[in-house]
Amino acid sequence: MLKIEIYDTTLRDGAQSEDISFSVEDKLRVTEKLGELGIHYIEGGWPGSNPRDAEFFKKVKKLKLSSTVVAFGSTHRAAHKVHSDPNIKALLEAATPAITIFGKTWDFHVKEALRIPLSQNLELIHDTIAYLKKRVKKVFFDSEHFFDGYKANPEYALKVLEAAQSAGADCLVLCDTNGGTLPHEVERIIKEVKFQIPNPKSQIGIHAHNDAECAVANSIIAAELGASQVQGTINGLGERCGNANLVSIIPNLKLKLKLDCITNEKLTKLKEVSRFVTEIANLRHFKRQPYVGDSAFAHKAGIHVSAILKHPATYEHVRPELVGNYQRVLVSDLSGKSNILRKAKEFNLRIDPESPKIAEIISQIKDLENQGFQFEGAEASFELLMKKAMGLHRKFFDLIGLRVIVEKRKEGEVPISEATIMVNVDGKLEHTAATGNGPVNAIDNALRKALEKFYPKLKKVELIDYKVRVLTAGKGTSAKVRVLIESGDDTHKWGTVGVSENIIEASWQALVDSIEYKLLRG
């Protein structure tokens, strides 16, 4: 079975994404996580380009990794001899067991960007690789713009590969640098390359960008055709539209093509690593991301749920557990009996499959969603709805009165938000007030301040996220809104929802559900 080596460039190519900036500590943490996933090669950066990457290569030596850390750089400059080029010196000073060098393959770039003869470019590539190969264990050659170069001048593109191979390159990586090559073109060109170089001394690799939304497909085709090194980034991070997404490529290679890349045990860490990198990059998780997204194995329609309860393969292409994900059943106006029974099981609620309560819950869901409620991001509110229908809900307090004041005294001054609240807890009145950085935050602070003396566990609850969505377009400021709130404590996070034409009322509904959920949960 063909062994596929996974080469990750999240810390270099991925870091070139818009709005992403990894610190040295960020890069070290991601490196450790990539090692846990079983990535074979981790490209740490370009040591000659900035002090941050140079520091990373010094500190990464202290990590205990099964992966090989790789330094990245260009061929030596035409104006320098290879042994005196500052970039080459920096690459060697990084002291990594492998180095990746990129060189121009498209004659258009050689003429317009480097402005040197085509023959001299071949010399730069050969001399650089030959020089490094005597000093490090492995040297990989990124054949930059290979596919565009091959389409423009196939004879010269092949000469570039031959120059790198004759110099001792361990892998010839075919790069779709502009990301515009389509899968049928990748297939044709790789087949032609294999015909022209029938017995390569070097491995063949693939490095695809995603500008035509084909990076994953192009990478898989290359692997099918014998490429034994596949490069990409976690979550497809990268400049412009990103790089080939390893989070999709790895399970496709492992589960679909049955190619040996990482172990089954490592594969179960895929979702964990995907989310870790997203958090470090300070991005939102893409819920519809294949394999690892929250929606990847989420089922909403009643017919689908009924089928997966009988056999998951009816609507799931792989078992979610294989990639560290899990099956979810959503609740909506498409819900049927199967959804309700499945959610009851998730919530550890016992309900008779023939109970009339099920029809009552379904009817209530459809009515609420017609009003604008949405429970897919607010499962705590749905659990409360089910418990109320089943007589398992307890009311912890009654609202007597609530008032919110937002005062802005003059231009340039931050508005003051204050909430005053009166609640009844088991016959005892509590009247209090609190401020916040906005009216909803003030209400949250005041409500918990009023209840904490009765329910101390609320001190651990915090409001994590708050979203507002306008539901009725064209009504301006009188439009109905939906508020989704995410709350959490030391061990758990939960979502709640509220809907109203009044944003304060919608927020109140979601806040009350959040607190009641915590108190019922314990």
Q: Residue 19 has what pLDDT?
A: 87
Banded model confidence at residue 473, pLDDT cuts 50, 70, 90? low
Q: What is the pLDDT of residues 350-409, one digit of tens each?
A: 999 889 999 898 889 889 988 988 786 788 999 999 999 999 998 999 999 999 999 988
Neighbour tally for 180: CB within 10 Å: 13
Pseudo-torsion of CA 73, 78, 84, 89, nearest 10°? 0
Whether the predicted pLDDT of 333 surpasses 60: no
Residue 229, strand partner residues? 5, 205
Task: Please tell me the pTM assigned to this model.
Answer: 0.73
CA angle 294, 276, 20 (to 5 degrees): 105
What's the sign of the alpha-carbon dihedral 13, 19, 25, 30? negative
Residue 135 is encoded by which pair of tokens? 């000093």
- Asked if the model's pLDDT at residue 125 lies above 70, the reply is yes
Contact call for residues 298 and 330 (beta carbons, < 8 A)? yes
> Which pLDDT score is estimated for 138?
98
Q: How many CA atoms lie within 13 A of 303 on its CB side?
A: 0
In the DSSP assignment, the letter for residue 75 is P
The CA distance from 166 to 144, in Å, is 18
Task: Quote the percentage of the chain above a pLDDT of 70.
Answer: 97
List the domain boundaries for the chain: 5-262, 398-521
DSSP state of 478: G
Give 95's pLDDT tier (boundaries 50, 70, 90): very high
Q: What is the DSSP-derived secondary structure letter of residue 209?
A: B
Q: Which amino acid does the sequence have at 291?
A: Y
Long-range contacts of 115-120 (CB under 8 A, 24+ apart): 116/78, 118/156, 120/78
Q: Where are the alpha helices (DSSP H) in 79-153?
A: 86-93, 107-109, 118-133, 146-152
Radius of gyration of the chain from its Cα atoms, rounded to whole angstroms:
29
Residue 476 predicted with pLDDT over 80: no
Angle, helices 337-346 vs 302-310, to 10°: value is: 60
Average pLDDT over residues 105-120: 95
Query: Distance between CA 169 and CA 184 in Å, rounded?
Result: 27
**pLDDT digits over 198-220, tens only?**
888 899 999 999 999 999 999 99
Which two tokens mark 520? 């019922």
C-alpha count within 13 angstroms, C-beta hemisphere, residue 78: 13
Grade residue 108 by pLDDT with cuts at 50, 70 and 90. very high
pLDDT above 90 covers what percent of the chain?
A: 72
Q: Evaluate whether the domain defined by 398-521 bears CATH number 3.40.50.2300.
A: no
Residue 311: phi, psi to the nearest 5?
Answer: -160, 120
Encode 257-279: b = buried (16+ Cβ within 10 Å), e = exposed: eebebbeeebbebbbbbbbbbbe
Q: For the ranges 19-28, 56-65, 274-283, 448-457, which has the lowest average pLDDT?
A: 274-283
Name the pairing type of β-strands 416-425 and 398-407.
Answer: antiparallel
Residue among 385, 374, 372 at smallest CA distance from 340? 385
The predicted structure's pLDDT at residue 334: 57
pLDDT at 96: 98
Provide the pLDDT confidence category of residue 478 given band limits of 50, 70 and 90: confident
Give the tokens for residue 357: 């309560």
Strand order in the sheet with 462-470: 462-470, 481-488, 493-500
User: 285-326, pLDDT tens digit by residue?
Assistant: 898 999 999 889 888 777 777 787 778 888 899 999 999 998
CA 267, CA 264: separation in Å to the nearest integer? 5
Say if residues 42 and 14 touch (Cβ distance below 8 Å): no
Distance CA 315, CA 137 (A): 47
pLDDT at 1: 57
The pLDDT confidence band at residue 475, using thresholds 50, 70 and 90, is low
pLDDT in tens, 437-447: 899 999 999 99
Q: Mean pLDDT score of the chain, rounded to an integer?
A: 92
Alpha helix (H) residue ranges in 232-355 = 246-251, 264-267, 270-280, 302-310, 337-346
Question: Does residue 252 surpass a pLDDT of 80?
Answer: yes
Residue 24 — very low, low, confident or very high, per pLDDT cuts 50/70/90? Answer: very high
Nearest CA to 45 out of 26, 73, 17 is that of 73
The secondary element (H helix, E strand) that includes residue 187 is: helix 183-196
Question: What architecture is the 5-262 domain classified under in CATH?
Answer: Alpha-Beta Barrel (3.20)
Give the pLDDT band (50/70/90) at residue 474. low
The pLDDT value recorded for residue 435 is 95
Rounded to whole angstroms, how far apart are CA atoms 425 and 434? Answer: 19
